[in-house]
Amino acid sequence: MAWWKAWIEQEGVTVKSSSHFNPDPDAETLYKAMKGIGVRSQLLSHQAAVFTFPSSTLTTGHSRCIPAGTNEQAIIDVLTKRSNAQRQQIAKSFKAQFGKDLTETLKSELSGKFERLIVALMYLPYRYEAKELHDAMKGSRDDVSSFVDPGLALQDAQDLYAAGEKICGTDEMKFITILCTRSATHLLRVKCTRNLHSYFAERLYYAMKGAGTRDGTLIRNIVSRSEIDLNLIKCHFKKMYGKTLSSMIMEDTSGDYKNALLSLVGSDP
């Protein structure tokens, strides 16, 4: 299946590994982007920018650190333009250089939906999936096997139908459980997931349609599919709804949260 993996890498993903990647400068950029992480001036060359008061106001040889506020755009530029594997390396470098946990530091510096999105990017994929599933996931996926239980496929189809179609208030945990714990072969036997790209396009659309945004659905689908097939989902989204995914994100979200989502989604098809 090497050809399939290569095709997905070329056609499907919106977030790819950065070429000429070096985690150390990225970790330093993130460190400098955070407010309230002051250091003395002797660390200026490799850790954080230090602003020194005029010598007339301070005792000779002393300096002061003035936090300039969190640089959210710098955080977006680094974390949304690196693959998950590269983000893990950045986190290790951050810990090694500055003695701090990157995810916890991001939590302390950011807030709201933007924090939720950025922190989601820092999870290993399987840990993020487990987090979203909570207690709903009872076993591992059967991806390694091509065997499909027709009875289970039928039951899943009935469960998905009962959970609700195209409407707010669906039993989202039921959808997550089935989609995250079944193989692609199995899912192809389930009628409503016969075209997975259309399915995810639909989930994204209804996450933003109408009053209010279902941010959990929006974040989960964009983060989890960005390194798999989000480009293909975007194409189906445009065909199905006559507008691009990015245009709907621009209409429905704002601020750094919007900018980070758009960076993950990439250019329009």
pLDDT at 131: 75
Is residue 142 a known part of a binding site?
no
> Is 173 in a helix, a strand, or coil?
helix
Q: Which domains can be identified in the chain, with CATH numbers?
A: 149-182 (1.10.220.10)
pLDDT at 158: 65
For the chain, helix, strand, coil in percent to 5 are 60, 0, 40
CB 48 within 8 A of CB 65: yes
Is residue 26 a known part of a binding site?
no
Pick the more confident residue, 33 or 9. 33
Is residue 248 a known part of a binding site?
no
Q: If you average pLDDT over every residue of the chain, what do you get?
A: 76
The H or E element that residue 138 is part of is none
Taking CA atoms, 190 is separated from 73, 157, 221, 247, in Å, by 41, 5, 19, 31
pTM given for the model: 0.68
Kindly indicate the confidence band of residue 184, based on its pLDDT and cuts at 50, 70 and 90: low
Read out DSSP for 142-172? -TT-----HHHHHHHHHHHHHH-SSSTT--H
Is residue 212 a known part of a binding site?
yes
| Torsion of Cα atoms, 74 then 76 then 80 then 86, to 10° | 40
Kindly indicate the confidence band of residue 13, based on its pLDDT and cuts at 50, 70 and 90: confident
> Does pLDDT of 134 surpass 60?
no
- 197 closest CA partner among 164, 156, 228: 228
pLDDT at 217: 86
